[in-house]
Amino acid sequence: MKLHSTSELSEAYIALGANLGDREKTLMDAIDRLHAHPQITVLRCSSLYETEPVGYADQPFFLNMALAIKTDLSPHVLLSVMQTIEQVLGRVRHILNGPRTLDLDLLWMEGREENTPDLILPHPRMEERAFVLVPLNDIVGQGETSGLHRVVKTAIERLDGKEGIRLWTTCNWQTASEHSES
């Protein structure tokens, strides 16, 4: 059973990407590990999209997706959990924006703002990246109250194009409604 202090639950959004190894399995393993944390509940996952690399181009295509979660962790503790999962699943940082088994980015957390050396919220390049916005658009509901829905819709409209992104598959991870906490 997941334990939360209900007065402090926040909805957060995470971008996931992988371009080394079994990309789809790694993304599903990351979701499992996030959901297994006692203070994180995965609510929704986007479809998976195959995307061309951005920045450092001499690398395989990525699979990208996004998650909506509920947590009572602070943004910095959540980031630490995410970085631990990256390491456990084989992430090494050799080349900036280079190939990786897993990349987890905290995008948004209940409209909170952070600006520290290790975390900026909302994510500073989220609105420029179709490989983030397209999956995020799958899971951000119109009823979302922190303004993220409006941010995503506006950013997608401003984007020059969404070329380089193609639907890979729908998310086959169990949904929160199917998850039993007993």
Catalytic site includes residue 103: yes
Q: Please name the residues in contact with 53: beta carbons below 8 A apart, sequence gap of 6 or more.
A: 19, 59, 60, 61, 62, 97
Amino acid, single-letter form, for residue 33: R
**Rg of the chain over CA atoms, in angstroms?**
15
Catalytic site includes residue 105: yes
Catalytic site includes residue 22: no
- Active-site residue among 100, 129, 138, 158? 100
Catalytic site includes residue 100: yes
- Active-site residue among 103, 129, 150, 160? 103
Closest to 138 in 3D by CA, of 68, 34, 71: 68
- Active-site residue among 33, 44, 91, 129? 91
Q: Can the peptide bond before residue 117 be classed as cis, meaning omega within 30 degrees of 0?
A: no
Active site residues: 91, 100, 103, 105
